[in-house]
A = this chain, B = another copy of it.
Amino acid sequence: VFTSESLRIGIGDDAAVLDLGATSKLVVTSDLLAEGVHFEAGTALPRVGHKALAVNLSDLAAMSARPLAAVVSLLLSDDTALQSAKAVVEGMQPLATRHQVAIAGGDTNSWSGRLVISVTALGCLAGRSPWTRNGAVPGDVILVTGSLGGSLGGKHLDFEPRVTEALRLAGDYEIHAAIDISDGLSLDLARMATASGCAAVLDLEAIPISDAARSLAPAPESKSALDRALSDGEDFELLLAVPREVAKTLKRAPPFELPLTEIGEFASGAGIWRRKPDGGRAALEVEGYEHL
């Protein structure tokens, strides 16, 4: 399962060797998925494999890194381990091929417990500085790719990480800060604002709400579609801070088909706010998935 020329020695020796050529900056990220935590028992294994690779590629995209390789470690049920390993890796393959990611497995183990899959992804920066979450400045426009909310309806398993879009933006435009929305728009925006030492003001009516968020919303006692877009998490869209002039250029001549929507701006101060109809602002409750 190698798809890249960069992988010199693969599975079968003690470790894999990657030829990085002129790349001097390596970007490394790791995400672990566990059955019953990140996906339900009974989820088709290829979908689990896709998600495990996709969440890692999404992290690389949020740093504007080009993915090179992924190392996969599996912990599988004793009775069906080999078969399961194959299904998980098969699920990764189309995504790996699309983005020329070499899959350098890794470690396959079996036990009596639930399925665990750990992926470490490596990427390069091709001379650029990585996007970080701390570079937003007051006056920057907040942009978001795609649409938000309702990811549990299926997108959290099947999403396409925004690798192509990130590389296009990083190559041609000045981007001040970036994060991928894994824990909810309001929470990840708060992280970006805090890291950057500024406030963020959202235009709630501008937020692109997904069809999934709208179709989940009508249930009694359910969150509103907007609340879902603000806090559901696992959207894996890119949240960006860009200079106003750059935002204008991007609006005038979109560099890709995926919607890139202006949803507010950074401002001096601190906290997450919503723009009121009268032009003032009110504090917004930050909600989302808090890690340990």
Shortest CB–CB separation between residue A34 and chain B, in angstroms?
5
Assembled-state Cα–Cα distance A8/B38 (Å): 29
Assembled-state Cα–Cα distance A122/B15 (Å): 9
Q: How many residues of A contact B (CB 8 A)?
A: 67
| Pairwise interchain contact B107-A31, C-beta atoms closer than 8 A | yes
A111 within 8 A of B: yes
Which chain B positions have C-beta within 8 A of A180? 14
A291 within 8 A of B: yes
1/0 per position for A83-112, CB-CB distance to B under 8 A? 001000000000000000000101111111
Shortest CB–CB separation between residue A167 and chain B, in angstroms?
15
| Pairwise interchain contact A17-B21, C-beta atoms closer than 8 A | no
| Pairwise interchain contact B13-A17, C-beta atoms closer than 8 A | no
A29 within 8 A of B: yes
| Pairwise interchain contact A63-B13, C-beta atoms closer than 8 A | yes
| Pairwise interchain contact B108-A59, C-beta atoms closer than 8 A | no
Of all chain B residues, which has the CB nearest A6? B26
Please judge, given known A-B contacts A9-B132, A291-B108, A292-B110, whether A15 and B32 are in contact too, CB under 8 Å: no
Please judge, given known A-B contacts A14-B59, A37-B111, A108-B291, whether A73 and B118 are in contact too, CB under 8 Å: yes
| Pairwise interchain contact B113-A34, C-beta atoms closer than 8 A | yes
Assembled-state Cα–Cα distance A286/B4 (Å): 36
A263 within 8 A of B: no
| Pairwise interchain contact B111-A34, C-beta atoms closer than 8 A | yes
A123 within 8 A of B: yes
Which chain B positions have C-beta within 8 A of A25? 8, 17-20
Q: Which 7 A-B pairs have the closest CB atoms?
A: A15-B29, A118-B118, A120-B120, A32-B73, A14-B62, A14-B59, A18-B26
Q: Can you spell out 15 A-B residue pairs with CB atoms less than 8 angstroms apart?
A: A12-B195, A13-B63, A14-B63, A15-B28, A16-B28, A17-B26, A19-B26, A20-B25, A30-B73, A31-B107, A32-B75, A34-B113, A36-B113, A37-B109, A37-B111
